[in-house]
């Protein structure tokens, strides 16, 4: 919490109603474990999970939009109580449209964390767009700020800490 | 052993009867490997295991208190001879109370290693509270000191080395 | 895209028709996960996969030449639409000969990414030879340039970005 | 090959007949993947394997002495053609005695790579003792030199490169 991103003032933080997360490269470090039958494992991080539960407890919803499909993601989201899970989203901007309509929210009420160029259409729309530290250079440039931690190593928790600190007026 | 933490003098080290370990982020680097049926694997470190056996041989008990439940943790603790294993501990301070009562120990006889905010209620009670190098900033601040190694990469062994060096008057 | 390798001018980039990838150490970080029945898992990277799809969409073919055999590689290549997959290639130069003949291409139309000495016979033949950042020193010396990212962590994507930037005249 | 360890002159290198490897922390980075039924996976490195094959081709035998037992190690050694495999060795010095007797070798003809205090009894006996870069401080101190790469990330290959360079008079 030493240095909060300039973009995130208290007004923006209190306005946020939804945090949209990418999976591969954000909730994970981008690794895909393959066996003979295709992808078999994903590696998540315990401190990200704790952050997601803290944010939900503070009344901010969490959604996951992923370009891939993975039963491991379904299992992890179930454990964390993430009800809004959109997998196989070829066009993430369309997926966001569906989410906003379903939840009756505005783009400005949404924060988003991504790592690669398919996330840029989300970054340019939402109120607070964050790239993980090891994001693709183009995604990093399109975001409002970058985390200090890489994806899969607590980057999501870092953003949650920023938002909660700003909302509580710290 | 180049630089021992200021908090840990020989008197404190010799008074220690119990080392309490968190699992995710301490005995592991915080990674949770998920497959279709939920969490499937945890990654421990061989040099931590060796340290735990050295500490037990020196007469200091080792206990594990984890907020999650995992059969992998049960298997690892069985291999290492860790009899005091408390999983699914929503409130870690309550778990410590049960442990202290069962083992007839005082808080001041306990060292603890943690990585995140749920460990802080333990940190403020025990005689020697250590955060792993990559701990959450609030947990790091609440601990007496930090390891130089991150969780899951020998941080537990480092603390064991400190304690054994101090007890032997090195 | 801040600094493109000196070797890769627009003429060379536009001439490229094929990118040849090694697997272990290039598409992965060199890790081989073994269980009781031998190798069981390989770890690929999501941003490499995205890059391979971008390159294919730009009309450059992608081939994989590996000294080992792995069902995980077959599965990953199928997902990415990589049709040219040569596994168990003891002599990679022979494998390249077969590829060039099959696709009616010249060496100068080929780029190659490798990490170790068995890749050197390819490096000395192709138009653009790239070693991953953590390549064996001899392989690094034999290549035209090195990526800034290590194998399995987006090195392939980095090379794709170079090629696409040069082809589009950026 | 930029900087060879002072200990390893051409005479010593040419005298070496056997390289003894520890498993956890040397052929791996020390990670132990546990599931519900105990340890399930070990992660080896492709460039270490290549080095082991290069050394064997140059006429130097390779043996593995491990304190643990693992079917994954058996599988990996079979693939690499390592015939001398001693697992479950509580006392590594005894295991070395058996090896030397079996192969009719002297301690001075042996090189050894280790990472932790149980390897020290080997380090003090053999002709060339190497600790991996991330070895326990006491093991690092007892060795003749340290690799620049950590265990499981090519440290074994680095030592092989040293030995082969010195034997060939490079």
How far does the CA of residue B6 sit from the closest CA of chain D (Å)?
A: 20
Q: Is residue C5 part of a domain?
A: no
Q: Is residue A50 part of a domain?
A: yes
Nearest to C24 by CA among C121, C89, C93: C89
Domain at B15, CATH number: 3.40.50.1000
> Quick one: pLDDT band at residue C44, thresholds 50, 70, 90?
very high
d(CA A104, CA C141): 58
Does residue D130 sit in helix, strand or coil?
A: strand
Q: What is the pLDDT of residue A1?
A: 52
Contact partners of A by the rule of 3+ C-beta pairs under 8 A? B, C
**Interface list for chain D against chain B, based on CB atoms closer than 8 Å:** 24-25, 28, 30-41, 68, 115-118, 134, 136-137
> Quick one: pLDDT band at residue B47, thresholds 50, 70, 90?
very high
> Quick one: pLDDT band at residue A4, thresholds 50, 70, 90?
confident
Point out the residue among A24, A36, A136 whose CB comes nearest to the CB of C72.
Answer: A36
pLDDT digits (tens, 9 = 90+) for D145-166: 999 999 999 999 999 999 999 9
> Quick one: pLDDT band at residue D169, thresholds 50, 70, 90?
confident
Does residue C117 sit in helix, strand or coil?
A: helix
Dihedral through CA C89, CA C92, CA C95, CA C100, nearest 10?
Answer: 160
Q: Is residue A33 part of a domain?
A: yes
> Quick one: pLDDT band at residue B169, thresholds 50, 70, 90?
confident
**Could you give the strand order of the β-sheet that contains B61-65, starting from the edge strand earlier in sequence?**
B84-86, B61-65, B18-21, B110-114, B128-131, B145-146
Q: Is residue A141 part of a domain?
A: yes
Q: What is the pLDDT of residue B170?
A: 60
DSSP secondary structure string for all residues of C79-91: HHT--EEE-S-SS
How far does the CA of residue C137 sit from the closest CA of chain A (Å)?
A: 25
Q: Is residue D23 part of a domain?
A: yes
- Element of type H or E holding C93: helix C92-103
d(CA B115, CA B117): 7
d(CA A64, CA A85): 5
C170, pLDDT greater than 70: no
Can you list the positions of beta strands (E) in chain C? 18-21, 31-35, 38-45, 61-65, 84-86, 110-114, 128-131, 145-146
C51, pLDDT greater than 80: yes
Point out the residue among B36, B118, B134 whose CB comes nearest to the CB of A75.
Answer: B36
Instruction: Give the structural domain span for B25.
Output: 10-167
Q: Is residue A5 part of a domain?
A: no
* C24 against A6, higher pLDDT: C24
Indicate the pairing of strand A110-114 with strand A84-86. Answer: unpaired
Q: Is residue D89 part of a domain?
A: yes
How far does the CA of residue A165 sit from the closest CA of chain B (Å)?
A: 12
- List A86's β-bridge partners, or say none: A65
Phi, psi of C72 (to 5 degrees): -65, -35
State the total domains in chain A.
1
Cβ contacts below 8 Å, chain C against chain D, sum to 63
Nearest to D24 by CA among D39, D38, D46: D39
pLDDT digits (tens, 9 = 90+) for C62-96: 999 999 999 999 999 999 999 999 999 999 999 99
- Element of type H or E holding D78: helix D71-80
Structure tokens at A47: 């401190």
Region A96-105: mean pLDDT is 98
| C-beta of residue B24 within 8 angstroms of C-beta of residue B68 | yes
The reply to whether residue C72 touches residue A136, judged by beta carbons under 8 angstroms, is no
- List B164's β-bridge partners, or say none: none
d(CA D8, CA D128): 7
d(CA A39, CA C41): 9
Q: What is the pLDDT of residue C4?
A: 84
B160, pLDDT greater than 60: yes
| C-beta of residue B16 within 8 angstroms of C-beta of residue B165 | no
The reply to whether residue D118 touches residue B76, judged by beta carbons under 8 angstroms, is no
Q: What is the pLDDT of residue B6?
A: 85
HEC assignment per residue over B77-107: HHHHCCCEEECCCCCHHHHHHHHHHHHCCCH
Nearest to C20 by CA among C64, C82, C56: C64
How far does the CA of residue D159 sit from the closest CA of chain C (Å)?
A: 13
The number of helix segments (H) and strand segments (E) in chain C equals 7, 8
The residues, ordered by sequence, that sit 6+ positions from B73 with a Cβ below 8 Å of its Cβ are B23, B27, B42, B64, B66, B85, B87, D34
HEC assignment per residue over chain A: CCCCCCCCCHHHHHHCCEEEECHHHHHCCCEEEEECCEEEEEEEEHHHHHHHHHHHHCCCEEEEECCCCCHHHHHHHHHHCCCEEECCCCCHHHHHHHHHHHHCCCHHHEEEEECCHHHHHHHCCCCEEEECCCCCHHHHHHCCEECCCCCCCCHHHHHHHHHHHHHCCC
| C-beta of residue A139 within 8 angstroms of C-beta of residue A123 | yes
Q: Is residue D66 part of a domain?
A: yes
Does residue C27 sit in helix, strand or coil?
A: helix
ipTM of predicted complex: 0.95
Region B3-31: mean pLDDT is 94
| C-beta of residue B43 within 8 angstroms of C-beta of residue B28 | yes
Region A107-117: mean pLDDT is 98
B1, pLDDT greater than 60: no
């Amino acid at each position: 919490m030493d240095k909060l991103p300039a973009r995130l003032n208290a007004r923006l933080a209190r306005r946020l109603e939804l945090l949209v997360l990418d999976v591969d490269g954000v909730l994970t470090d981008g690794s895909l474990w393959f066996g003979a039958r295709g992808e078999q494992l994903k590696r998540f991080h315990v401190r990200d999970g704790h952050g997601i539960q803290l944010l939900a407890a503070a009344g901010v919803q969490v959604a996951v939009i992923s370009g891939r499909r993975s039963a491991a993601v379904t299992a992890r989201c179930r454990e964390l109580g993430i009800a809004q899970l959109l997998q196989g989203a070829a066009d993430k901007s369309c997926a966001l449209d569906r989410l906003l309509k379903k939840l009756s929210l505005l783009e400005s009420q949404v924060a988003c964390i991504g790592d690669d160029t398919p996330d840029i259409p989300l970054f340019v729309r939402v109120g607070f767009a964050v790239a993980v530290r090891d994001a693709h250079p183009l995604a990093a440039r399109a975001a409002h700020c970058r985390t200090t931690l890489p994806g899969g190593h607590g980057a999501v928790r870092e953003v949650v800490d920023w938002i909660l600190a700003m909302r509580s007026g710290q």
